[in-house]
Amino acid sequence: MQRFWGGRWLAPAASLGLGLGLGAALSGRRRRPEEEEAAAGLLARLPVLPVAAAASLPVAARAGGGGGELAKYGLPGLGQVRSRESYVLCYDPRGRSALWVVEQLSAAGLSGASERAACDFREDDSVHEYHRATNADYRGSGFDRGHLAAAANHRWSQQAMRDTFYLSNVAPQNPHLNQNAWNNLEKYCRSLTKHNKNVYVCTGPLFLPRMEADGKMYVKYQVIGKSHVAVPTHFFKVLILEKPGGEIELRSYVMPNCPVDEKLPLERFLVPIESIERASGLLFVPNILKRTSNLKAIVAGSKT
Please give the Cα distance from 295 to 277 (Å, whole number): 17
Catalytic residue among 147, 176, 195, 228: 147
Closest by CA position to 3, among listed 262, 304, 300, 295: 295
Q: Residue 95 CB: number of other CB atoms within 10 A? A: 24
By CB neighbour count within 10 A (0-12 exposed, 13-18 middle, 19+ buried), where does 173 fall?
buried
- Is 147 among the residues known to form the active site? yes
Contact by Cβ (8 Å): 13, 267: no
**Sign of the CA dihedral running 276, 281, 286, 288:** negative
Degrees, nearest 5: CA angle 70-74-75: 80
Catalytic residues: 147
